[in-house]
Amino acid sequence: LSDRLSRLVKQMRGQARITENNVQDMLREVRMALLEADVALPVVRDFIARVKERALGQEVVGSLSPGQALVGVVHKELAATMGEGVSDLNLAAQPPAVILMAGLQGAGKTTTTAKLARHLIQSRKKKVLTVSADVYRPAAIEQLKTVTKAAGAEWFPSQPSDKPLDIARAALDHARRHYFDVLIVDTAGRLAIDEALMAEIRELHATLKPVETLFVVDAMQGQDAINTAKAFKDALPLTGIVLTKLDGDSRGGAALSVRTVTGAPIKFAGVSEKIDGLEVFDAQRHAGRVLGMGDIVALVEEVQKGVDMAAAQKLADKVKSGDGFDLNDFLSQISQMKKMGGLSGLMDKLPSHLAAKAGQADMDRAEREVRRMEGIINAMTPLERRKPELLKASRKRRIAAGAGVQVQEVNRLLNQFEQMQGMMKKMKGGGLMKMMKRMGG
Ligand code: GDP
Ligand code: MG
């Protein structure tokens, strides 16, 4: 998508506000992007409607194009939908505070139980007990025992022959008598939602009265996440969501679906199989991931900040009116690029797969090149910059000596200038992003 979005961002037309007309195509692209990221269709429809409502009629501030302004609105709305700020676990209860884990089999409940135990021990200095109410898979109880030990928490034994409710009561009793701050109850999942499972977890909820009921959902579940989330939301008053396996190659669209359907905040993200692979969920960062656009929003801001839009406009007008693009303009393009923090600074803000493609070595080389070109143009007289055709052999020698380079480099610059001049004519000015790409590559 990043390609598409940067295309939107590049649509720099001088329109003053966002209208039905000028955002139609862009909204279509955003819609595609969300579907590609596996956001469920009803959620996408809803989301697009909200973005449209928020964006239409909005004044486009300063030098932003409607496309840029819309990207800003989309990003903000995504982050707001996924939850503003971060919310840690609520432990405001008479100890032990009980955390109930819910979700399908394989979602990551057992793993997350241990990760949360570790988090509570390390960040909040809590005394944590875990227990497994998963009596259906014999290995499940042992699995929790192992990971709980690794987390440095205590584990309460249970047997496959026990009833889940009895296990819950016994663990709660033990936690009370031994002054545990927190009891985390791991539960059984099924491969698909079934009524028996829902009834069981509802009973556990009624008995344990947990302060947190966390819905654990696999980010790779994609479109299906919406159905699972609905079923669990209808069965239980969910207080939070843990989105697991975000380290996989999912685009994380499930976050938007699950959050919209349950209304519960996404509190944590699982980012590896390891015990420390848990992060407090960051909605801002995740919004960028879903759109696959890295920090393109920050890039847009940077471009506005650094580029003298009046100068750019003058340049565009000049090219349009056939006045030609001279070396002064070339120099001003180069210095605008430098104002944007240099090419490598810009690279940090591009989506990582694009940045990786370009490579740091390439960027360093491009940046040195830009500085050298600037030196050469600075060694020219104003007249020479306006009329590059004056540059015959003797003038070139003088300029090369002034800039401390070989004459070939002056020639190379003039070639590049001519190429760019041709390009400027085609683009009718304003194609700063395209130009940067050309220079970087
Ligand atoms: P449960 O059936 O809900 O208890 O799921 P488990 O905790 O047993 O996890 C199922 C599988 O997913 C295991 O192989 C875990 O190691 C793996 N898993 C859980 N969370 C994550 C995560 O955040 N990232 C990755 N890569 N794997 C995870
Ligand atoms: Mg399990």
Distance of CA 247 from the midpoint of ligand 2 (Å): 19
Which ligand is located closest to the Cα atom of residue 144? 2
Distance of CA 186 from the midpoint of ligand 2 (Å): 7
Distance of CA 2 from the midpoint of ligand 2 (Å): 37
Distance of CA 274 from the midpoint of ligand 1 (Å): 9
Mutate to test the pocket of ligand 1, among 101, 104, 111 (most ligand atoms within 8 A of CB): 111
Question: Cα–Cα distance between 250 and 257 in angstroms, integer?
Answer: 14
Which protein residue's CA is at the shortest distance from atom 6 of ligand 1? Answer: 108
What is the structure's pLDDT at 298? 52
If you search the block for the tokens 């959620």, which residue do you land on? 43
Which protein residue's CA is at the shortest distance from atom 12 of ligand 1? Answer: 108
Mean pLDDT by 10 residues, the chain (441 residues): 52 54 76 83 91 76 63 81 78 94 96 97 96 92 97 96 96 98 95 85 97 95 88 95 86 87 93 93 78 52 50 57 71 66 52 51 68 88 89 93 91 84 59 44 30
Residues making up the chain, counted from first to last: 441
**Taking CB atoms and a 6 Å cutoff, what residues make up the pocket around ligand 1?**
103, 105-111, 189, 244-245, 247, 270-273, 277
Which ligand is located closest to the Cα atom of residue 115? 1
What is the structure's pLDDT at 64? 58
Question: Cα–Cα distance between 383 and 390 in angstroms, integer?
Answer: 9
273-321 per-position pLDDT tens digit: 999 999 998 887 787 777 665 444 455 445 445 455 555 556 556 555 5
Question: Cα–Cα distance between 119 and 123 in angstroms, integer?
Answer: 6
Distance of CA 389 from the midpoint of ligand 1 (Å): 68
What is the structure's pLDDT at 149? 97
Q: Ligand 1 atom closest to Cα of 103? A: 3
Q: Ligand 1 atom closest to Cα of 111? A: 7
The CA-atom distances, in angstroms, between 253 and each of 78, 286, 322 are 10, 9, 48
Which protein residue's CA is at the shortest distance from atom 15 of ligand 1? Answer: 273
ipTM of predicted assembly, 2 dp: 0.99
What is the structure's pLDDT at 433? 45
Which protein residue's CA is at the shortest distance from atom 20 of ligand 1? Answer: 108
Which protein residue's CA is at the shortest distance from atom 10 of ligand 1? Answer: 106
C-beta pairs of 419-428 under 8 Å, 24+ apart in sequence: 420/325, 420/330, 420/333, 421/324, 421/325, 421/330, 424/319, 424/325, 424/329, 425/319, 425/325, 427/319, 428/316, 428/319, 428/320
Q: Ligand 1 atom closest to Cα of 143? A: 8
Q: Ligand 1 atom closest to Cα of 147? A: 7
Which protein residue's CA is at the shortest distance from atom 5 of ligand 1? Answer: 108
Distance of CA 141 from the midpoint of ligand 2 (Å): 8
Which ligand is located closest to the Cα atom of residue 215? 1
Mutate to test the pocket of ligand 1, among 135, 215, 273, 276 (most ligand atoms within 8 A of CB): 273
215-272 per-position pLDDT tens digit: 999 998 888 889 999 999 999 999 999 999 988 767 788 888 999 999 999 999 999 9
Which ligand is located closest to the Cα atom of residue 112? 1
Distance of CA 105 from the midpoint of ligand 2 (Å): 7
Q: Ligand 1 atom closest to Cα of 107? A: 3
Q: Ligand 1 atom closest to Cα of 269? A: 23
Question: Cα–Cα distance between 52 and 409 in angstroms, integer?
Answer: 51
Residue positions forming the annotated binding site for GTP: 103-110, 186-190, 244-247
Distance of CA 279 from the midpoint of ligand 2 (Å): 20
Distance of CA 120 from the midpoint of ligand 1 (Å): 19
Domains of the chain (ranges, CATH numbers): 2-81 (1.20.120.140), 97-281 (3.40.50.300), 307-440 (1.10.260.30)
